[in-house]
Amino acid sequence: MWLRVAGRRHITDNGQVTDLPRRAVFRTAKLATLPLGFAGRTALGVGKRVGGKPAEAVAAEVQLRTAEHMFRVLGELKGGAMKVGQAMSVFEAAIPEELAAPYRASLSKLQDAAPALPADRVHAVLAEQIGPRWRQRFIEFDDAHAAAASIGQVHRAVWRDGRPVAVKIQYPGAGPALRSDLAQIGRMMRIVGPLSPGVDMAPLVDELQNRMSEELDYRREARSQRAFGKAFTGDDDFMVPDVVLASDEVLVTEWVDGTPVRDIIESGQQPERDRAGLLLARLLFSGPAHARLLHADPHPGNFRLLDDGRLAILDFGAVDRLPRGLPRPIGELARLAIAGDAEGVRNGLRREGFVRDSVTIDAEELLGYLVPLLEPLRHEEFTFERAWLRAEALRLADLRKATTGMKLNLPPSYLLIHRVTLGVMGVLCQLGSTAPFRAECERLLPGFADPG
């Protein structure tokens, strides 16, 4: 029973203190400061230009302050707001270079950093989740967090059997905060629905909200991690840490060292970039093929490149279950598009729900719209570069071609597959990876190499 409220904290009848989840109106107001803040800084910039300050210097200052404001707001809110920031960070490579530079550092911070939970709150969560004698389970426990993210933070510790472990602790109030943010994001997405007449927005919003809400369930995450671990036991390419303990809001797993992919993006040598990129692409196909699971959160903070060349996978909160693996039509339609079969592509997309029955679309225009996205699969070896992704982003945003894209629908069953594929491509462009990506599709993507 709640006894009283102190500031933004609840105090229970046993003296336990827990953070009061911020109300939806507060979080909405904070999110609203992003466009308002940008407008204010732009107005200030106009004033400075009138006052004689060079336009280039003013623009750079506005961009830098906007990036810092965005990081601060999204980081402070955690929850769904920060999830959006993390998703944005994956697509940083698509932003034109003159705009990307001031945002890059702030967006990269959102990949695995956020304001931390104090030690007393950490102890309270551990006592609630794994018992008042929780310290007896550890030989050592570091009160200073090793990483902090959207709905939880990670601490280093040594388990009672001597194993180094990572202890992930969910923020008190993370559930209500995440659901509040997703509700706000859902309303925003529904508003833009009329701008995309070919897309049925309602099921997409529902699917996105359901999938992101699953990340609150640490027991579910533990089951996914164990399933991946079983599928990749002894694998030459991937390493999955063992799960040691799981409760509703605490997850203890084997600690993994190695080089974070984020660090490779910033300063890695080309062989590291190529290896990390190849393995991220391979994971996109191998998870569904071997574990019947899709790792659905490809931001660089979730991966480490080990000294033996394997890729360690650290976070399984976002996982899609694919009992039959990746849908065969993905490979089939890619093969038909590369072969130039416009009618076959249009018919296949209509069968899968990407083109709704009520929509009329020219087959050749549709093929011309899609084929450039498949350029990495047209060559034995391909280099993912920021310039290529920026060019594609500009092409898809071209108003002269927008009518074709607006006629396409995204079936809910393909939502995560689509989002993860684009996310992986964004990270590969940040890495600048060169590898035989076509061969990976021929080997692991159903329907791509085998017409039957």
Contact 259, 309 (CB under 8 A): no
Which pLDDT score, from 0 to 100, does residue 13 have? 36
Alpha-carbon distance 115 to 122, whole Å?
Answer: 13
Amino acid at position 267, single letter: S
- Is it the case that residue 193 has pLDDT exceeding 80? no
Among the ranges given (209-213, 272-276, 300-304, 419-423), the one the predictor scored with the smallest mean pLDDT: 209-213
Contact 176, 183 (CB under 8 A): no
Amino acid at position 263, single letter: D
Residues 6+ apart with CB under 8 A from 360: none
> Where does residue 189 fall: left (phi above 0), alpha (psi -120 to 50 degrees), or beta otherwise?
alpha
> Where does residue 353 fall: left (phi above 0), alpha (psi -120 to 50 degrees), or beta otherwise?
left
- Is it the case that residue 69 has pLDDT exceeding 80? no
> Looking at the domain assignment, is residue 161 inside a domain?
no
> Looking at the domain assignment, is residue 42 inside a domain?
yes
Give the model's confidence band at 216: pLDDT under 50 very low, under 70 low, under 90 confident, else very high.
confident
Contact 85, 71 (CB under 8 A): yes
3-state DSSP assignment of residue 451: coil
Which pLDDT score, from 0 to 100, does residue 100 have? 53
Alpha-carbon distance 413 to 351, whole Å?
Answer: 13
Of 232, 262, 256, 236, the residue nearest 244 (C-alpha): 256
> Looking at the domain assignment, is residue 38 inside a domain?
yes
> Looking at the domain assignment, is residue 249 inside a domain?
no
Contact 322, 291 (CB under 8 A): no
Compare 16 and 131 and report the one with higher pLDDT: 131
Average pLDDT over residues 69-96: 51
118-122: long-range contacts at Cβ-Cβ below 8 A with a sequence spacing of 24 or more?
119/143, 119/144, 120/17, 121/17, 121/18, 121/19, 121/172, 122/153, 122/155, 122/169
> Looking at the domain assignment, is residue 135 inside a domain?
no
Which residues are bridge partners to 145 per DSSP? 155
Residues 6+ apart with CB under 8 A from 278: 433, 435, 436, 437, 440
Which pLDDT score, from 0 to 100, does residue 422 have? 87
**Which residues form the domain of 430?**
258-452
Compare 88 and 187 and report the one with higher pLDDT: 187
Which pLDDT score, from 0 to 100, does residue 224 have? 96
Amino acid at position 201, single letter: M
Contact 93, 83 (CB under 8 A): no
Of 52, 109, 105, 115, the residue nearest 86 (C-alpha): 109
Give the model's confidence band at 335: pLDDT under 50 very low, under 70 low, under 90 confident, else very high.
very high
- Alpha-carbon dihedral 355, 89, 169, 255, rounded to 10 degrees: 100
> Looking at the domain assignment, is residue 413 inside a domain?
yes
The length of the chain, given as a count of residues: 452
Final residue in a domain of this structure, among 109, 144, 175: 109
Final residue in a domain of this structure, among 109, 125, 141: 109
Which pLDDT score, from 0 to 100, does residue 188 have? 52
- Is it the case that residue 4 has pLDDT exceeding 60? no
Count of C-beta atoms within a 10 Å radius of residue 338: 16
Q: Which two tokens stand for residue 213?
A: 């809400």
Model pTM score: 0.76
> Looking at the domain assignment, is residue 292 inside a domain?
yes
Alpha-carbon distance 400 to 403, whole Å?
Answer: 7
Residues 6+ apart with CB under 8 A from 50: none
Overall number of domains in the chain: 2
Q: What is the DSSP string of 261-274?
A: HHHHHHH--HHHHH
Helices (H), 78-132: 79-90, 97-109, 119-130
Which pLDDT score, from 0 to 100, does residue 403 have? 80
Which pLDDT score, from 0 to 100, does residue 181 have? 61
Final residue in a domain of this structure, among 109, 131, 147: 109
Which pLDDT score, from 0 to 100, does residue 201 have? 53
Average pLDDT over residues 182-204: 53
Average pLDDT over residues 107-118: 58
Classify burial at 234, counting beta carbons within 10 Å of its beta carbon; exposed 0-12, middle 13-18, buried 19 or more.
exposed
Average pLDDT over residues 341-362: 95
Q: What is the DSSP string of 352-420?
A: HTSS-TT----HHHHHHHHGGGGGGGSSSSEE--HHHHHHHHHHHH-HHHHHHHHT----GGGHHHHHH
> Looking at the domain assignment, is residue 204 inside a domain?
no
